[in-house]
Amino acid sequence: MSRYGDREAAVRRLLDTPHPPVPGDLSLRAAERGARLRRRARTARRVWWAVCAGAALAFVVWASAARPWEVPPAVTTPVVEGW
């Protein structure tokens, strides 16, 4: 028998056996788990947006204080007086 035939025979043996019983509250537990995962994802998304907004606000505050777009003053020698 080929390898495919062996696999097919194994699958047929599994399908011919009686199926295990399914708990009656399986759908309720699955729905609760799905709702919990959705809440966690929503919370994570809100935290991520809050962190991004805080980073943007911190950048704006830093940029307004440091003014990195302005050219720094040139370093020159002091004016000599009294010549």
Question: What is the tally of structural domains in the chain?
Answer: 1
Q: What is the Cα–Cα distance from 71 to 75, expressed in whole angstroms?
A: 12
Q: Domain residues for 55?
A: 39-65
The b-or-e profile of 12-51 (16+ CB within 10 A means b, else e) is eeeeeeeeeeeeeeeeeeeeeeeeeeeeeeeeeeeeeeee
Residue 75 domain-assigned (yes or no)? no
Residue 6 domain-assigned (yes or no)? no
Confidence of residue 1 (pLDDT cuts 50, 70, 90): low
Residue 45 domain-assigned (yes or no)? yes
Question: Model-level pTM?
Answer: 0.60
Residue 4 domain-assigned (yes or no)? no
Give the model confidence (pLDDT) of 13-33 as tens digits: 988 988 888 999 999 999 999
Residue 3 domain-assigned (yes or no)? no
